[in-house]
């Protein structure tokens, strides 16, 4: 294994290898290709009054995030991902987070973190039980990088080579997010 992040196709293959045999018992652990083009990007952009980054749009048009979880990060659970994004947004609006709706959308939930995307630049942040929204931590430059990093973290965790994953993170990411990625793989 070289010292880089896996690409999306490599991640898809690894998850298929590990989880196709378990699909009769558990679902949502594979990154499946989008079968039906139910994803109406214009609908969510109108509803949330945002313009989504191209990187994000390309991935949600090609992969089914409506039924995908990895390392405790839940994008959706047997749902249409667009509906899930709207649901996330409505939940946050009820919490009255100032200026959230103009710049950020929630893209996933974790056990202790909420994953948000800055729609102006595509960067991904987390905040949660120990990190307030005002002290959010940038964990990826783009949605693609988030998925690549989560997939790479999964691979190294499954191979018991977490140190190699941390070496990648230390070289590729800002110092402020290193502890977040350490927590993800533990």
Residue with tokens 């946050």: 92
Which residue intervals of the chain are DSSP H helices?
Answer: 8-19, 41-48, 54-62, 81-94, 100-103, 143-158, 162-172, 178-185
Q: What is 8-185's CATH number, 2.60.40.10, 3.40.1580.10, 1.10.150.120, 3.30.450.20? A: 3.40.1580.10
Of 127 and 140, more confident: 140
In this prediction, residue 97 has a pLDDT band, given cuts at 50, 70 and 90, of low
Question: Are 8 and 15 in contact, with CB atoms under 8 Å apart?
Answer: no
Cα–Cα distance measured from residue 10 to residue 65, given in angstroms and rounded to the nearest whole number: 17
Question: pLDDT tens digit string along 40-68?
Answer: 788 888 888 889 999 999 999 899 998 89
């Amino acid at each position: 294994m070289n010292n880089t992040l896996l690409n999306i196709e490599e991640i898809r293959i690894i998850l298929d290898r590990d989880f196709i045999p378990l699909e009769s018992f558990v679902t949502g652990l594979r990154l499946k290709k989008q079968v039906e083009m139910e994803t109406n990007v214009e609908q969510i952009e109108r509803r949330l009054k945002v313009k989504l980054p191209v990187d994000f749009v390309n991935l949600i048009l090609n992969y089914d995030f409506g039924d995908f979880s990895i390392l405790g990060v839940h994008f959706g659970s047997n749902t249409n991902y667009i509906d899930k994004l709207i649901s996330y947004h409505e939940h946050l609006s009820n919490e009255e987070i100032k200026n959230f709706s103009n710049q950020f959308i929630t893209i996933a939930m974790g056990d202790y973190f909420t994953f948000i995307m800055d729609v102006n630049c595509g960067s991904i942040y987390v905040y949660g039980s120990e990190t307030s929204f005002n002290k959010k931590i940038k964990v990826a430059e783009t949605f693609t990088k988030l998925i690549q990093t989560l997939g790479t973290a999964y691979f190294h965790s499954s191979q018991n080579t977490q140190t190699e994953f941390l070496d990648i993170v230390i070289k590729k990411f800002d110092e402020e997010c290193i502890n977040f990625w350490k927590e993800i793989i533990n």
